[in-house]
Chain A
Amino acid sequence: MEINNTIWMVLVAIIFWSLGWRMCERRLASTDPSARKKNVAVDVDLATKVDVYAKSLQDFSQQVPPVWSALIDSSRLQMENAINALTLRFNNIVNNLDSVLELTQSVLIESDQNVFESSRNRLNQVAINLDQGLNDKRLMLETIKTLVNFIGDMQGMATDVTQFAEQTKQLAEHAWIEAGLAGDAGQGFSVVAEKIKQLASASGNTGKQFCDKVNEINAAITNAFLIAEAASKANAESVTSANVQIQDVLTDMQAVLDFLKLANQRLGDKAQGIKEEVFESIVQFQFQDRIGQTLTHVRDSIGQLPQHIAQSLATGEHSLKPLDISAMQNQLEHSYTMAEEHQLHNGRKQAVPNPVEITFF
Chain B
Amino acid sequence: MAKTILVIDDSASVRQVVSIALKGAGYEIIEGVDGVDALSKMNGQKIHLIISDVNMPNMDGITFVKEAKQLPAYKFTPIIMLTTVSEEAKKREGQAAGAKAWVVKPFQPAQMLAAVSKLIMP
Contact = CB atoms under 8 A, between A and B. Distances in A.
B100 A286 contact: no
B61 to A, nearest CB: 12
B91 A91 contact: no
Contacts of A284: 106
B20 to A, nearest CB: 6
Contacts of B9: 289
Interface string A57-89: 000000000000000000000001001101110
A11 B86 CA distance: 33
Contacts of B20: 91, 94, 279, 282
Contacts of B54: 337
Contacts of B95: 361
Interface of B is mostly: mixed
B106 A283 contact: yes
Contacts of A327: none
A357 B104 CA distance: 5
Interface in B69-120: 83-87, 90-91, 94-95, 99-109, 111, 115, 118
B14 A337 contact: no
B97 to A, nearest CB: 10
Given A288-B11, A290-B105, A354-B104, A87 B16 contact: yes
A109 interface: no
B106 to A, nearest CB: 4
Nearest to B108: A356
B16 A286 contact: no
Contacts of B118: 360
B25 interface: no
A84 B101 contact: no
A165 B106 CA distance: 123
Interface of A: 80, 83-84, 86-88, 91, 94, 279, 282-290, 292-293, 337-339, 354, 356-361
Given A283-B108, A289-B9, A337-B90, 18 more contacts: A84-B12, A86-B13, A87-B16, A88-B12, A91-B20, A282-B13, A282-B17, A284-B106, A286-B106, A286-B107, A290-B106, A337-B84, A338-B85, A356-B103, A356-B106, A356-B108, A358-B101, A358-B103
